[in-house]
Structure 1
Amino acid sequence: MNPERDLYLDGYWQSEKFFPGLRDSLREEFRLKEKPSTTTQKLSSQMTDENSVAIHVRRGDYVTSAKAKQIYRTLNADYYRSCLLDLAARETGLKLYLFSNDVPWCEANLDVGIPFTPVQHTDGQTAHEDLHLIAQCRHVVIANSTFSWWGAYLGRPHSSRRVYYPEPWFHPGTLDGSAMGCEDWVSEASLADHSSTENARRAA
């Protein structure tokens, strides 16, 4: 390849396989350069001290745009419930924080017996504070969204940390999402396999 040739690379480049071993450097690169709002500072401190869980639910164009719906799965409540119930079976004292552009839908559909706190003090101009807050939580349940992927990837290391991600990421036959999950993350597919195995064991 000619190093002086101009190139235009089109893609999400959303896999740790593109930048192996650079997570610590990227955490530093993406940290907030300016002090966030007082509310964000308070929430950040709480999340750091608690057994906190960030839940990202993206609806909006994933529900209303015909073009987006052809490519991106609209994650239903079952995905979030299965992730949260699996986490609740392993961890105690969970504090759930919701990041979503459709809080009413979440309040109506995501009840798993653990109250959650919607994070609603930010807007389009301060969305970077949402990304920062997702990264402060010990555990994360992400959507098939670049935003929560990076929030989870940049998160604080912890021995019991669990990050859940959708699999498949895209509708079959559209884009290739096979490399989306990091090695230490838990896929939706693995939860389904575990559930099937458990049901077969109980029926035996």
Structure 2
Amino acid sequence: MGGLGNQMFQYAVGRRLAAIHGTVLKLDISDFKNYTLHDYGLSAFNIKESIATQEEIRLFKEPEASSLKKKIKKLVGYPNKLGITHIRENQYHFDPAILTMHDSVYLDGYWQSEKYFSDISEIIRNEFTVTLPQTGKNLTLAQQMTSCESISLHVRRGDYVTDGKTNTIHGTCDLDYYARCIGRVAQKVHRPCFFIFSDDPEWAEKNLRITHQATVIDHNGPKKNYEDLRLMSQCRHHIIANSSFSWWGAWLNQYPDKLVLSPARWFKEETFNTKDLIPSTWQRL
């Protein structure tokens, strides 16, 4: 569920358990039938894609129970007669117990930390490679990015702005955040070239104040968001939003001296513990 970045986190944690147990990872994409904000998007990647059947999904659905029992099960998961376990994520920080689960488990959550899959990072990087060749304008941009001190800058708006519930939880990175990041990049990087990614490129172009060379990427659109993600990963440095999409764009970049700047607060809701969301080598501003 969720956008492409969220789907990638969900796949990565499941792929780690499947790799350790030598078993098959099945993907439950049934909720996308009624989900209007985003499409299922992992088919663009070199993943081991196996879609769960409705019968397989049914085996994992939580049976009717009292409200008290449901609350307990949400906290600790539950085994049924088949040894199947349904685990609901109950915190935003890393839970090491997830990595000890057996091979008949249904993971229900977002799992936003590289700690869930860091020990198979090369597998994840390989499988999150876009299968289609890079052509046309995207290829031209990629060549530009590799020939300069390229910085991807991501502005996430979309449902963060238009959907009331989403805005209450996430909020958006303000212009002051981007100004501080651009200033930090200018101090650290000689002759930076900015490449701006956004689901609202017109807003980004109008409101961002960048005195250095800057290019707005606005031609791929939501149906080819994997192309934007690939371009992001081909930049040398990154200014990410509070978005799993640009998180992955930065993480997939293998440039050894990359500078990654991220927001100090990931959620508008201050009580969420996101200490494990940002890798230790990235900088929070």
**Same fold by TM-score, threshold 0.5 exceeded?**
yes
> Deviation per CA, 1:65-116, whole angstroms, max 9, x where unpaired?
1101110021111111101110111111111000012222222221131131
The alpha carbon displacement at 1:151 in A equals 0.9
- Identity, in percent, stands at 37
Instruction: Return the alpha-carbon distance in structure 2 between the equivalents of residues 113 and 152 of structure 1.
Output: 23
Contact 2:145 2:236 in 1 (8 A): yes
Q: Letter of the aligned partner of 1:102 in structure 2?
A: D
Residues 104-139 of structure 1 deviation map (CA, whole Å, 9 limit, x = unaligned)? 222222113113101112022211111100000000
Indicate the residue corresponding to 1:54 in structure 2: 152
Shift in Å, 1:177 = 2.1
When residues 120 and 95 of structure 1 are mapped into structure 2, their CA distance, relative to the original with a 3 A threshold, is same
What residue in structure 2 maps to residue 171 of structure 1? 268
TM alignment of 1:1-204, pairs within 5 A: 4-7=83-86, 8-159=106-257, 161-173=258-270, 175-188=272-285
> Any idea what SS the aligned residue of 1:21 has?
helix
Alpha-carbon distance, 1:173 to partner: 4.3
Contact 1:53 1:137 in 2 (8 A): yes
- Give the distance between the partners of 1:112 and 1:42, measured in 2 at CA: 22
Give the gaps of 5 or more residues in structure 2. Answer: 1-77, 87-105
Give me the TM-score of the superposition, normalised by structure 2: 0.62
Structure 1 or 2, whichever has the larger Rg, is 2
Structure 1 position 157, deviation (Å) = 2.2
Contact 1:170 1:176 (C-alpha < 8 Å) held by counterparts = no
Structure 1 segments unaligned to the other structure (5+ residues)? 189-204
Q: Which structure is higher in RCO with an 8 Å CA cutoff and minimum separation 6?
A: 1
104-113 or 44-53: which moved more? 104-113
Number of residue-to-residue matches in the alignment:
187
Tell me how large the CA RMSD over aligned residues is.
Answer: 1.8
Task: Answer whether contact 2:234 2:253 (CA < 8 A) is retained.
Answer: yes
TM-score of the superposed pair, with normalisation by structure 1: 0.85
Q: Is the contact between residue 192 and residue 213 of structure 2 (CA under 8 Å) also seen in structure 1?
A: no
Shift of 1:59: 0.7
Contact 1:97 1:116 in 2 (8 A): yes
Note if contact 2:151-2:195 (Cα within 8 Å) is conserved in structure 1.
Answer: yes
**CA distance in 2: counterparts of 1:16 and 1:9, whole angstroms:** 16
